[in-house]
Amino acid sequence: MRTILVLGATGVRGGGVARRLLAEGRWTVRTLTRRPERDAARTLRALGAEVVRGDSADPLALRRALVDCGALFASVEGWGRSERDLARGRELLLTAAEAGVPELVLQTSPAELGLEHRARALGLGATLVRTATDYEALPALFRPVADPDGGWYVECPDDDAPRAGVCMDDVAGIVSAVLADRAAWRGRTLCAVGDVLPPSAYVALVARELGAVVECRRVPGMPYETDAVGEMRAMLALSRSLHPAMRSFDAWLAGTRAQRAAAAAASIAPHAAATPSSARTALPTASARRAASPSSSAPSAPAAASGV
């Protein structure tokens, strides 16, 4: 089997890709980590990954890890926000070019246009997989807060323009599909999208999970990152064709209910010591509502089956 080096494999994005490729069994997966003794690295080793000690920011360590590799996956999403990360990204691409890596898949975002252009200029034939907003971030982004006059609300942009979202685990499915058909995807750019909904729809789904009635208050001129709806819907169709198990936001909420409820349980204690009712109080999860002190001054909301 060919070997692929997956950078960031002990993190969320690289970890999802590494686990999927290991489960599919079409690639030998190599990872590079500064701390092979960490639980995440041990788990990958138990799944069959080759875990190599080293820092991906070190060109020599990266070049050694790339020996005999047929492909490289790296997530540079978020690296466009600081000059330090941009420099690291440029060094990574240069090292990959010097090592002669046959295949390169980069997970990016629009903030990394400079790195995308650099990859093209180096002639790496990279496939660029851009990602929509993480589903994991949306419940917090559209989390209801208490109205001092009673009830719950979320502030939304006045035009209610749709925004694309995606589950990070499903991005790994897209990467796998791209690697399985490199002839078709070499040198191309696509965006991994799982759903395209207006803020009011995201709010309604989060409110349903919380078992609460939530008002979506339109705020004229509210800063909000929107997407080119037509393009995102086309990418949604493409994403589903590449990865038929791609989940909608609704399906993701239902499928991760138990996991999110467990995470919510860890935040019960801070919620019990809630701020006064004059403060903007976030709507607690169902688990937190059941455990919170009866003296909490936040407005009551209907019970829900699980937390968000």
Q: Is the pLDDT of residue 277 over 60?
A: no
Higher pLDDT, 267 or 304: 267
Residue 190, in any domain of the structure: no
Query: Which pLDDT belongs to residue 226?
Result: 59
Query: Which pLDDT belongs to residue 50?
Result: 96
pTM, two decimal places: 0.80
- Read off the pLDDT of each residue in 299-307 and give the average, rounded to a whole number: 41
Q: Is the pLDDT of residue 57 over 60?
A: yes
Residue 199, in any domain of the structure: yes
Residue 117, in any domain of the structure: yes
Backbone φ and ψ for 302, nearest 5 degrees, come out as -60, 145
Higher pLDDT, 267 or 150: 150
* Residues making up the chain, counted from first to last: 308
The CATH number of residue 125's host domain is: 3.40.50.720
Does 146 lie in the same domain as 56?
no
Does 140 lie in the same domain as 122?
no
Q: Is the pLDDT of residue 174 over 90?
A: yes
Does 274 lie in the same domain as 145?
yes
Q: How far apart are CA 85 and CA 69, in angstroms?
A: 24
Does 147 lie in the same domain as 89?
no
Q: Is the pLDDT of residue 268 over 80?
A: no
pLDDT digits (tens, 9 = 90+) for 194-212: 999 998 999 999 888 888 8
Does 261 lie in the same domain as 127?
no
Q: Is the pLDDT of residue 243 over 60?
A: yes
Does 124 lie in the same domain as 17?
yes
Residue 308, in any domain of the structure: no
Does 211 lie in the same domain as 71?
no
Query: Which pLDDT belongs to residue 270?
Result: 46
- Read off the pLDDT of each residue in 266-278 and give the average, rounded to a whole number: 45
Does 72 lie in the same domain as 33?
yes
Q: Is the pLDDT of residue 144 over 70?
A: yes
Query: Which pLDDT belongs to residue 266?
Result: 56
Query: Which pLDDT belongs to residue 263?
Result: 61
Q: How far apart are CA 286 and CA 303, in angstroms?
A: 6
Residue 199 burial by Cβ neighbours in a 10 Å radius (0-12, 13-18, 19+) = buried
Does 55 lie in the same domain as 28?
yes
CB atoms within 10 A of CB 246: 22
Residue 243, in any domain of the structure: no
Does 109 lie in the same domain as 204?
no
Higher pLDDT, 145 or 72: 72
Residue 96, in any domain of the structure: yes
Name the percent of the chain lying above pLDDT 90.
51
Does 149 lie in the same domain as 73?
no
Residue 267, in any domain of the structure: yes
- Read off the pLDDT of each residue in 259-278 and give the average, rounded to a whole number: 51
Query: Which pLDDT belongs to residue 138?
Result: 82
Q: Which structural domain, as residue segments, surrounds residue 220?
A: 136-163+195-227+249-291
Q: Is the pLDDT of residue 278 over 60?
A: no
Residue 297, in any domain of the structure: no
Does 124 lie in the same domain as 153?
no
How many domains is the chain built from? 2
Residue where a domain stops, chosen among 83, 107, 131: 131
Query: Which pLDDT belongs to residue 287?
Result: 42
